[in-house]
Amino acid sequence: MGTDHKSDGIGKLEGGLIVSCQAPADSPLDHPQVIAAFAQVAERQGAVGVRIEGKRNIRAVRAAIGLPIIGIEKRQFPGFPVYITPTLESVRRVSGAGAGIVALDCTGRPRPDKRPLYEIIKAAKRENQAVVMADVSTLEEGLAAEEFGADIIATTLHGYTEESHNSHGPAFELLRNLVLKARLPVVLEGRIHTPDQVRKAFELGAHAVVVGTAITNAEWLTRRFVEATPWALQKARTSEK
C-alpha cells in the first residue's frame, strides 16, 4: 500500500466497516443529535469510522464518538454537477469542524470556484493538514487523484457520472482495477446492501467498505418493506388507472 497512514487515521480503517450516517434534507432524522446517535450506534457495533455531511453534524459526531470521521459537505451550484465538497472553502469548513479525513469529488468535472483539482488537494493538505479521500467514478480519475496528492481513493461516484452512468450495483470491477493499479488504499462505497457484498469487497482487496443507505436510511428501509404489502400493491394499481 505504500505510505504508512496509521498516524492520520487511514490505517485505523483497514479491514473494517465505515458507516455513512446521513439523512435527506427533508427527513425528520436530519438533525445533528440524530446523526450523532447513528454514529454512536455504529461505534458500539464495531464500525471503524463514519462518514458525516455538514459542519454541524461533524461537530456533534466529533463530540460523541472517538472514531475517525470522514467529512463531506454537499452543496449544489447551478451549472455544476460537482456537489461533494466542491470547493476549497468546503474543504476548510469540513476540516475545521473536526473531520480527520476530508472526502471530495475528484472527478475531472469543472468546479464552482474554478480551481483545478490538484490545487484544491494541495491547498487542503498545506493549509488544513487534511487527509484527502478522493471520491471517483473511474480508474483514470483515481490514478489522477493519486498523482495530485490524495491519500486514499473511494469508488463513491461510480454510476453517478456521465463516464460511469451505465454501471449498476457495487463498483466491484472499479475496485479490482484500482487495487491492481493504484498505490493508495482503496475503499468500496456505493450501493452496498448485503453482508455478502461487504465480504466480496475485502476479497477483492478493499482497504475498507462504506455502507450508508442499507444501515441508516430509515426512509429507504421502510419503503422496501411497505412495497411488499397488499396496501402498496393496491395503491400502485389505483395510480395506474
d(CA 23, CA 37): 12
71, part of any domain: yes
Tally of domains in the chain? 1
84, part of any domain: yes
233, part of any domain: yes
How much is the pLDDT for 3?
Answer: 37
How much is the pLDDT for 128?
Answer: 85
55, part of any domain: yes
d(CA 197, CA 208): 12
pLDDT digits (tens, 9 = 90+) for 33-69: 999 999 999 999 999 999 999 999 999 999 999 999 9
Q: Residue type for 161, please?
A: T
pLDDT digits (tens, 9 = 90+) for 132-181: 999 999 999 999 999 999 999 999 999 999 988 887 899 999 999 999 99
In sequence order, which residues have a C-beta less than 8 Å from that of residue 94 and are 6 or more positions away? 55, 58, 71, 72, 73, 85, 102
Q: Which domain holds residue 51?
A: 6-240
Query: Quick one: pLDDT band at residue 197, thresholds 50, 70, 90?
Result: very high
59, part of any domain: yes
CA atoms within 13 A on the CB side of 112: 18
Q: What CATH number should be reported for the domain holding residue 61?
A: 3.20.20.70
Give me the residues paired with residue 211 across strands. 19
143, part of any domain: yes
| pTM score, whole prediction | 0.94
Q: Is the pLDDT of residue 5 over 50?
A: no
Q: Is the dihedral of CA 190, 70, 53, 34 positive or negative?
A: positive
1, part of any domain: no
